[in-house]
Amino acid sequence: MRFGTAMNDAGIKGQRDRGTKCRNRALYPFLPRSLYALALFSSLFSLSLAAQFVGDPSYTLPAEETRIGDLYFGGTMLRIDGRLDGSVLAGAQTIAISGPVTRNLFLAAQNIEVTGAAAGDLVALGATLTVGGRISGAIRAAAGAIYINGGVGQDVLAGGAAVVIGKDAEVRGDIVAGCQKLEVNGIVRGDVKAVANEIVISGSIDGDVEVTVANKLTLTPDARVYGNLRYRSNKKIDIDNPDMVFGNIEFVQLPSPREIDDIRQMKPRPGMFVTFFLPFTILSIVGALVVGFLLVAIWKYVLDEGIARSLGHWRRTLGFGAIGFLIGPMSILVAFALIVTIPAGLIAAAAYLVCLYMAKVLAGMFTGRLLFRIFGSPDVSLWWAAPVGIAIVFGLCAIPYAGWVIWFVSMAVGFGVIAELLGMSRTT
């Protein structure tokens, strides 16, 4: 009876184990397929946003017409003279907007001219940018020449060869600029912060002026600076009309090239790694161990089979992993370059960052299982192999210089394991 009872108990236990394996085996398509579903949903969402995409070489919205909804354009010339109740996302050779836009402007072109009003922000990239209308939000622009001669409700963030704030301009926020020459001829209600070779101020600035200037800083007789003027330079500059500054004028000496070379030659102390990098390394290992334990707890049998297949075909794992690791950023850049697919590109970029971390954790599991196999324990539980491998991989990646090579190899391995798991999901 005891023998029969033992056999009966063993049979029940075996059935339970097989049932658990079946349930876990049924789970492993869930994660990849859920990712497919998320990608499909994101694509449909981005396509729904781009429902009013205009693919003609040129498009003009007449002055007497009103268009409702966002406008997506990719072509040669875009002109908006009428009213647009929505945002504009456009890439062209020439863009001219003279009508009102009720939301944001996202523009990329060789020549951009905005003389109409926009209720949102203006984000622009091009060779020349001219703003003569009122932008209720902020302006963020990068162009060879930027000329703003209208109202701006918030800040101006600009970078280019020349940035000019015209006489009729009123910026109600701050100006942050990086350029060769900056001219402020209008009214600025906030502060001005800039890095430039030459700065000319002939307008009114209610806040402080904090700049780094290389050659020339000029205040014309019409200039008014109601805050403080603080400038950094490698030499003290003879400022014209210093009485136009109602606050204090402060000069900060920049280090000379010789002093910079001396700083570069300074070698870090051996204790700096222990003081600054070791705590972050320990925290990253602890976080990775937590993530690894969660993955093993949820998908133990799936990971067991996927890592076993990866070890059995390690050349294929490294090859496909390296391809996936390198193609990801290229696809994201293409999505951003096409402009219309920017929403999908943002989602893909976020997913890629998650995959980078997960690939490193999976590479740790792969390494742990490989080490135990080398030392004669191929059947050790993933509960033991995962923490050992994760600690080794994350620790080696923290080594200065050589850690980058180890990190790249771990990315190739991790993305290869992800590819193997995706392949398992398609065959189930």
CB 304 within 8 A of CB 362: no
Can you count the helices (H) and strands (E) in the chain? Answer: 9, 21
Mean pLDDT of 323-346: 75
Higher pLDDT, 155 or 233: 155
**Over the chain, what is the mean pLDDT?**
80
Higher pLDDT, 167 or 269: 167
Q: Provide the strand spans (E) within 234-322.
A: 249-253
CB atoms within 10 A of CB 395: 16
pLDDT band with cut points at 50, 70 and 90 for residue 428: low
Task: List Cα–Cα distances, 296 to 31, 104, 123, 365, 384, in angstroms.
Answer: 13, 45, 45, 10, 10
What pLDDT is attached to residue 155?
94
pLDDT band with cut points at 50, 70 and 90 for residue 31: very low
Q: In the chain, pLDDT over 90 holds for what percent of residues? A: 33
Per-residue model confidence as pLDDT tens digits over 203-257: 999 999 999 998 888 999 999 999 999 999 888 877 888 888 999 999 888 776 5
d(CA 411, CA 402): 15
Half-sphere exposure of 121 (CA within 13 A, CB side): 12
pLDDT band with cut points at 50, 70 and 90 for residue 38: very low
What pLDDT is attached to residue 26?
41
What is the radius of gyration, based on Cα positions, of the chain?
30
Residue partners of 232: CB distance under 8 A and separation at least 6? 211, 212, 213, 251, 252, 253, 254
Q: Could you give the 3-state DSSP secondary structure of residue 130? A: strand
pLDDT of 39 strictly over 90? no
Mean pLDDT of 156-180: 94
Q: Could you give the 3-state DSSP secondary structure of residue 365? A: helix
What pLDDT is attached to residue 27?
40
| Residue 403, φ and ψ in degrees, nearest 5 | -60, -30
pTM of the model: 0.54
List the one residue out of 87, 130, 125, 132 whose CA is nearest residue 109: 125
Q: How is residue 274 annotated by DSSP?
A: I
Mean pLDDT of 163-185: 95
Q: Could you give the 3-state DSSP secondary structure of residue 427? A: coil
pLDDT band with cut points at 50, 70 and 90 for residue 288: confident
